[in-house]
Structure formats: structure tokens, C-alpha cells
Amino acid sequence: MGTCSERQSRGTKIIATLGPASSTVDTIAALHQAGADVFRLNFSHGAHEDHAARLAAIRQVEHQAGRPIGVLLDLQGPKLRVWSFADGQAELVAGQRFAFDRNPEPGNHERVCLPHPEIFSAVSPGDQLLVDDGRLRFRVVSVTPDVIEAEVVAGGLISDRKGVNVPDAALAVSALSIKDRRDLEFGLELGVDWVALSFVQRPEDVLEVRELIGGRAKLMAKIEKPLAVQNLEAIIEVADAIMVARGDLGVELPPEEVPSIQKRIVRLCREAGKPVVVATQMLESMIKAPAPTRAEASDVATAVYDGVDAVMLSAESAAGHYPVEAVSMMQRIIHHTEGDPLQRQLMQAVTTRHQANSTDAIGAAIHSVAGVLPVGATITYTTSGATAFRVAHERPASPILSLTPNRTVARQLALLWGVTSYATEDAKNVEDMVEKASAAAKNTGYYQPGRPLIVVAGIPFGTPGSTNLLRVVWPE
């Protein structure tokens, strides 16, 4: 176990995406040293062997660091794309007519093949079609089973295989493509800890994938579709965590609506006691520049003030010129923001709803004890991770040290606000648990003379979801 550090003194976690700029053991070690708690494998890019090599490198860094590192597999999701053009591209101007059809012939400035029958059956006149992340915009004029006639609202160059967004219609399409199913099984065999599901529309999408995962990993639902925003509370209920995926969300919804939707998602997750991640373009300018804009620094800080569990870097760490600097900058912003007394006030303005069970009662009791005693740390003994999840949602003022006999659970907990997790032997009895907790606090630097520890666990040991014990310990 390592000693207490700036990483352990912050609550908000950092997720860093790996890619061409960050695939070597040395770079991954540097990213971890700079503050990355979880690494994201983005299956929209790269071959299986690339991701397998990155995961092996992560595990090597984990072994060297002596602390669990979480790995998040991000599925591409069903990508809707136009087909090809005879000249590779075509110039479209606002006001002209343009057809999307089922004809596989190469396209031109009047038409292109759209090989997705589910779009033809879902859209209606007046609906929008967006191409190339919304750079080109169309309004549907008429629809038949084989042709969508549209008017160009915002023109420009349209080229081969550009993505299509359909913000106004609910598509009868599974959240998992054939590629996603292959990627999911491959990632689970590799041993990823979290799976992020793209383009969720409804809670049934999450339940479908949860069945395939079969308890081998935790499941995170990405909110990036207008329909997902409409079904938000039902999706939060069935997911293990939520990602505010502002990329596609900002394409399919007006940009001015995204900040308030982000606030709503974070608040609902905090109330429901579900981890929440804010992602996309957080330090975007650091893809090419050694420092972020002031607006980007403020964006990261806003998420920290709201009490999110984690903030995420995408291209900044995967393909940018300054991957380690981006992680380091994010850690500095988090550390400074969490040092502001106002941050805790704002974060505590939203509290988790308590249910009438022993786990929630223990979680509420932690606040009461910490209000009376100068608690040095809260130590959770957990088999499934449920105890640590619950304590983290209380956002206690003291650090959280989670001990679990399950290495996968320890890695999953790396995503949670304020939790430092370690895999350890299960306790034989309460006294053994107290001894192990005290030793762990001293080994990790959490022990402070004169400050008691709160030890939380479930009796009998090894029974998932049975949090029913809170012990105040004064280490000798």
C-alpha cells in the first residue's frame, strides 16, 4: 500500500482515455502518477489487440503502483452513417433539396444512400437529420419506405461515411450493434471493470446489456440522446453509474440546453446515490496546447462544485500532444477547487435519498459521528462494494478507505468519489476487522494521532449488501 498523497486527498476522480498518444507502459505510468484513477478503452477506435496490449500495460502499472486501477470499456454503440459518394464528397447549399435513399449506388449533390431502414420508419416531415456531428442540417420534407426527401438547412461538404443523428425520433434499434457484442465479450474476457453503454434511449437498453454482462463488470449508461434525457430517472434506476456524454448530447440538443441538462443529470444521480461522470471537451484545447482555456478550467471546476464522482479526458489524453500535462492540470484544478470552503457547501446542498434499510441508516450515522468527533478516515469492509458505494454517496469530510477481498471490486471502486480501495484478506471477526482497519490506516498514511477512525462493515462477513455495523476506533 502506498502512502497518503494529493491523489488520496481529493474526492473527485479522473478518467483518462488511452489511445495512440498514451499506449506505452511508461506513458500510462506517468498518467497514473499525474492523477488518473481509471483508464478508458474507447472501442470506437483501435483493434482488439491494441486494447488487449493497453489493458496488459495498465495491469503492469497497477502492480508497480501497488494500488487498484479501474478500467472502463466504452462501447461504440450503433453508428448511423451515410454511404459513399461518387467523388468522395459533394457540396450542398442551404435551401436545396437532397434525398437520402436505399439505393446503394454512389451518391452525388442530389442524393446519397442511407443504409438504415429504422430511420425511414421513424422520421416524419418536419424532423431534423444531422450529418457530421451537426455540421450539416436537414429538415425532412417527405418520407416513403425507400426515400427521405429533405431540405438543406445548413450546407457544406458532405463526404463518405459521415455519421447521422436523428434527434427528433425514437429509433427501433438495439443499443448494441454486432460489433458491440463482440467487443463486449472480448472486454469481459480481458477483465475490464466497467462497461459504458453508448446511445442509450430507454431503460430496456441498459437491462439488455446487464443480462449479457452477467455480473462480470459494473454498467455505466451514457446520456447523449434526447430520448435518454426524457427517460432519465428510469435509466438512472437500472444503471450502476451515469456518464454525461456531452459530445453527441450537444449535437442532438441546442448547445444552450446542455448546461442545465448536465446539472439535472448530476443532481438526480446524487439524489439516487448513483456515481456520475462528466465527459467530453473538458480540456479540449490541451489536445494541441500545453495549457487549457480559462473557460475549460471553469468547466472542470463546475463539475467538482456539483460533487460529481469523476471527470473524464478523451482526445486530450488519447491523441493529444500533452496527455500527461492534461491529467496533471485536471488534478490541479480539482485540488484547488476542493480546497475552496464553498465547494463542500455547494456539494452538500444535494443529498442522497435515504431508504429504510440498515445500509442507509449507517450512511446517515456517519454524518452524525463526524459532526461530533474529529474523524480521521472512514474505513469500509465490503465484499460487493455496496458499503463503499453508500459511504461515498454521503460525501463525508474525511477520506474513505475501502478494504475488500475481491480485486475486481477494488478496481471498480477506483471510480467512486473519495474512495481509496485496496484488495485485502477478509476479516475473521469484528476484532480482526478493527486490527486490519487500523493497520491499513497507518500503512496508507490515513492515521492521524488523536483522530478516530469510523469502521463500517456488514455482519456476517462475506455477505453482500448487509451493511449493519459502525464502529468508532481510536488507534493506539
- Give the residue numbers annotated as catalytic, written as ranges: 40, 81, 222, 280
- What is the distance between the alpha carbons of residues 181 and 410, in angstroms, rounded to a whole number? 26
My answer on whether omega of the bond before 290 falls inside 30° of 0, hence cis, is no
Q: Which amino acid is at 221?
A: A
Do the beta carbons of residue 332 and residue 14 sit within 8 Å?
no
The one-letter code for the residue type at 151 is E
**H or E stretch at 403:** strand 400-404
Report the amino acid identity of residue 379: I
Distance CA 117, CA 181 (A): 21
CA 243 to chain CA mean position, Å = 4
Residue type (1 letter), 362: I
Buried/exposed code over 157-174 (b: 16+ C-beta within 10 A; e: otherwise): ebbeebebbbbbbebebb
Grouping H, G, I as helix, E, B as strand and the rest as coil, residue 351 is coil
Contact 123, 168 (CB under 8 A): yes
Q: Nearest CA to 263 among 201, 349, 333, 332? A: 349
Q: How far apart are CA 89 and CA 109, in angstroms?
A: 8
Query: ∠ at Cα 398 (395, 401), nearest 5°?
Result: 90
User: Rounded to an integer, what distance in angstroms lies between the CA atom of residue 162 and that of residue 474?
Assistant: 62
Contacts of 37 (CB under 8 A, 6+ apart): 7, 13, 14, 15, 69, 70, 310, 414, 415
Q: Give the Cα-Cα-Cα angle 304, 18, 208 (nearest 5 degrees).
A: 80
Q: What's the rounded Cα separation, in Å, for the pair 175 and 209?
A: 8
Alpha helix positions (H), 66-198: 117-122, 178-190
Using CA atoms, how far apart are residues 44 and 438, in angstroms rounded to an integer? 44
User: Cell 495491469 maps to which residue?
Assistant: 59
